[in-house]
Amino acid sequence: MSDPTAPATESLDADAVDADAVDADALDADALDPYALDRDGIAALLDELGEPAYRARQLHAWLVRGVDDPSEMTDLPQALRQRLQARFAPTRPELVAHTVADDGHTHKLLLRFPDGEAIETVLMLYPDRATVCISTQAGCAMGCPFCATGQAGFRRQLTAGEVVRQVVVADAALRSGVIGAEHLPSGAPSRVTNVVFMGMGEPLANLPATLATVRWLNDPAGFNLSARHITVSTVGLVPGITKLAELGLPVTLAVSLHAATDDLRDDLVPVNRQHPLAEVEQAMAAYRRTTNRRVSIEWCLIGDVNDDRLQADRLGAIARRLRAHINVIPMNPTPGVRWQEPTAAATRDFIDTVERRGATVTLRDTRGRDADAACGQLLASYTLGAGSRLPAAVGAAERIDAAGTLPPIAQAPS
């Protein structure tokens, strides 16, 4: 693990992200974060300013390219640039840490907004795609005990502009070479091709920003990302799943299950008490029917907690009923709990059992471990490193450890 108090391993040019950051308190009521505007919002603004429609397209194109300073929008008339300057108050984040892992394939950015809240954005490069993992909340209220973000608790919602901005920052970094070419693997894509809502926070607990960001990314006249290249990961907030389906875009839905029995899931994913497994499964089936899109199941595999045969068996059955694909992610250690990833043998056994049930499963690599790259971990270690206390939502972890609640393997149905 890197020392969070040490200077970032490699630093982006922070000015590129932070140029004249605004003081949030000084904004007047009409001030607009340009990234909070979708195509219709931009059109309405320029209409209000008495400008022809093609100016809206020009402004939109600049924003998609990561330029939010009207003075740099060289194809707009000078007078319009000045009027936009007066209206815009971009919420520009400051880059406070940038860690590089996996030989330049993983770039983890810790971004801090003008009010002091920090969030993580991770750029993962593969030969054929560049995926950005974005945050939707500063912190998270869901309290999953194995998750660093959950341990730290909820701070605030991110605005749509703050969520969109993360993709734009990562995309601009790739396009403009802000991440120096020497830190990028050869043949890395030159723009963002995939977006996953798997950073800090629960996207469906911030529906306005999540839905607005999906629409913004998908806009064919704008960022133009296929809905199939967008994945929203949720802990299973059923009303939110329904709303996402109503958006009418075939976004990939990933549900973080982590347990296939309600008693264990009540502890690992506390919101299961409001939306138990049967209800979540129903919502997933409905999502699949409405969008005609295969759903995924995320399973953070924790040694001696959810890696036994009973869980594997039940998970396999759920996945087969839903024809869902399972992603197994060995747990990254987090500061708040003693839990660890399972042994290689337990992992193999778990996957074999799930597959015997007729489900398809992929064992995910744990990207960027050397850069604190698990969900929320860079911030967690940064916070700890800065000396502040990390409030831990780890009661469930203690209960499981103390009670030894897991059924012995012999009890699992074969």
> What CA–CA distance (Å, rounded) separates 367 from 115?
30
Which amino acid belongs to residue 364?
A: R
> For residues 2 and 332, which CB has a smaller minimum distance to ligand SF4 in the complex?
332
Q: CB–CB of 121/96 below 8 Å?
A: no
Single out the segment in contact with ligand SAH by CB under 6 A; choices: 45-53, 85-93, 230-238, 275-283.
230-238
Single out the segment in contact with ligand SAH by CB under 6 A; choices: 54-62, 96-104, 227-235, 272-280.
227-235
Which amino acid belongs to residue 149?
A: T
The answer to whether residue 334 forms part of the interface with ligand SAH (CB under 6 A) is: yes
> What CA–CA distance (Å, rounded) separates 374 from 367?
8
375 is catalytic: yes
> For residues 70 and 376, which CB has a smaller minimum distance to ligand SF4 in the complex?
376
Site string for ligand SF4, 331-370 (x = CB under 6 A): ----------------------------------------
> What CA–CA distance (Å, rounded) separates 217 from 195?
9
Helices (H), 177-222: 207-218
> What CA–CA distance (Å, rounded) separates 324 from 95?
37
Q: Which of 34, 150, 240, 342 binds ligand SF4 (CB under 6 A)?
A: 150
Token pair listed for 83: 């009027």
Of 138, 133, 106, 100, nearest to 119 by C-alpha is 138
Q: Which of 167, 169, 300, 354 binds ligand SAH (CB under 6 A)?
A: 300
Token pair listed for 304: 């001696």
- Given the residues 120, 162, 202, 298, select the one marked as catalytic: 120
Q: Which of 120, 202, 313, 341 binds ligand SF4 (CB under 6 A)?
A: 202
120 is catalytic: yes
Site string for ligand SAH, 369-388 (x = CB under 6 A): -----xx-------------
> For residues 166 and 334, which CB has a smaller minimum distance to ligand SAH in the complex?
334
The answer to whether residue 235 forms part of the interface with ligand SAH (CB under 6 A) is: yes
DSSP for 43-100 reads: HHHHHHTT--HHHHHHHHHHHHTT---GGG-TTS-HHHHHHHHHHB---PPEEEEEEE
> What CA–CA distance (Å, rounded) separates 386 from 110?
14
The answer to whether residue 149 forms part of the interface with ligand SF4 (CB under 6 A) is: yes
DSSP state for residue 366 in the 8-state scheme:
-
> What CA–CA distance (Å, rounded) separates 160 from 168?
12
CA neighbours closer than 13 Å in the CB half-sphere of residue 339: 31
The answer to whether residue 235 forms part of the interface with ligand SF4 (CB under 6 A) is: yes
> Out of ligand SF4, ligand SAH, none, which partner does residue 332 contact, by CB within 5 to 8 A per kind?
ligand SAH
CA neighbours closer than 13 Å in the CB half-sphere of residue 291: 24
Residue 97, beta-bridge partner list: 110
Single out the segment in contact with ligand SAH by CB under 6 A; choices: 40-48, 81-89, 182-190, 325-333.
325-333
Token pair listed for 143: 């309290």
Q: Three-class SS of residue 253? A: strand
> For residues 90 and 143, which CB has a smaller minimum distance to ligand SF4 in the complex?
143
> What CA–CA distance (Å, rounded) separates 195 from 80?
33
> What CA–CA distance (Å, rounded) separates 82 from 359?
58
Token match 């600049």: residue?
Answer: 62
Binding positions for ligand SF4, 44-103, rule CB under 6 A: none
**Minimum distance from residue 66 beta carbon to ligand SF4 (Å):** 27
> Out of ligand SAH, ligand SF4, none, which partner does residue 331 contact, by CB within 5 to 8 A per kind?
ligand SAH
**Minimum distance from residue 204 beta carbon to ligand SAH (Å):** 8
> For residues 188 and 244, which CB has a smaller minimum distance to ligand SF4 in the complex?
244
DSSP state for residue 187 in the 8-state scheme:
T
> For residues 101 and 147, which CB has a smaller minimum distance to ligand SF4 in the complex?
147
- Given the residues 140, 144, 300, 375, select the one marked as catalytic: 375
Q: Which of 63, 138, 142, 318 binds ligand SF4 (CB under 6 A)?
A: 142
Single out the segment in contact with ligand SF4 by CB under 6 A; choices: 3-11, 126-134, 136-144, 176-184.
136-144
Active site residues: 120, 375
Residues near ligand SF4 (CB under 6 A) are 140, 142-144, 147, 149-150, 201-202, 235, 256, 375
Residues near ligand SAH (CB under 6 A) are 146-147, 198, 202, 233-235, 256, 298, 300, 329, 331-332, 334, 374-375
